[in-house]
Amino acid sequence: VGAATAPPPPTAGGVPCGYTIPTCRKLDELGSKGLWADCVMATGLYHCKPLVDILILPGYVQACRALMIAASVLGLPAILLLLTVLPCIRMGHEPGVAKYRRAQLAGVMLILLALCAMVATIWFPVCAHRETTIVSFGYSLYAGWIGAVLCLVGGCVIVCCAGDAQAFGENRFYYSSGSSSPTHAKSAHV
């Protein structure tokens, strides 16, 4: 989702257009629209104008920006929570219920992230196509779609398949240094 929020990369052969975007579009053939820049492409040249004037931007661009930023902000805590739920990580003598709640919270955060990204990556191209009939979208749109679907599936799997709170983390096994039998590599932690 972060890749879908990023502005387009600068190109080596790109020369900024000194005119307004409609004038540059008249000079060139194909336009490319994004959340952070409006670009036109000609043979060998790529002209981009950053969209920095927030007050003159259409409402859908501002809303899509806010949704993508919200999705990006939700992603980091969700990943950090998921890392703390891994079976190899113990935080003191916490019960399995605490890990279960963190897993559920991380799953819900991933689902919210996916919904924000899906709304933004569907809403933006529909509204941009209504404004301009011939417009292309870069890799960010497709990366956003794929990322949103994967986050939605991952969040649903975490929320639905985590098991129940009482049994979560109860079947942990730890390596013991002084095993009584050489055939048992693991012993149950009591």
Average pLDDT, rounded, for the chain: 76
Reduced to 3 states (helix: H, G, I; strand: E, B; else coil), residue 48 is strand
Q: What is the pLDDT of residues 161-170, one digit of tens each?
A: 877 766 655 5
Q: Does pLDDT of 13 surpass 50?
A: no
pLDDT over 70 percentage in the chain: 64
Long-range contacts of 114-117 (CB under 8 A, 24+ apart): 114/71, 114/148, 114/149, 114/151, 114/152, 114/155, 115/152, 116/67, 116/68, 116/70, 116/71, 116/74, 117/1, 117/4, 117/67, 117/68, 117/71, 117/144, 117/147, 117/148, 117/151
- Token look-up 């897993």 returns 103
Contact between 97 and 168 (Cβ < 8 Å): yes
Task: Enter the tokens of residue 93.
Answer: 């003598």
CA geometry: angle at 63 spanning 57 and 66, to 5°? 110
Q: What is the mean pLDDT of residues 38-59?
A: 78
Cα separation of 60 and 151, whole Å? Answer: 23
Identify the residue with better confidence: 114 or 139: 114
Task: Inform me whether the pLDDT recorded for 20 exceeds 90.
Answer: no
The residue type at 47: H
- At 172, is the pLDDT very low, low, confident or very high (cuts 50, 70, 90)? low
Give pLDDT, residue 80: 94
Residue that has been written with the tokens 């920006």 in this structure = 65
Q: Which domains, ranges and CATH numbers included, belong to the chain?
A: 2-170 (1.20.140.150)
Overall average pLDDT of the 103-127 stretch: 93
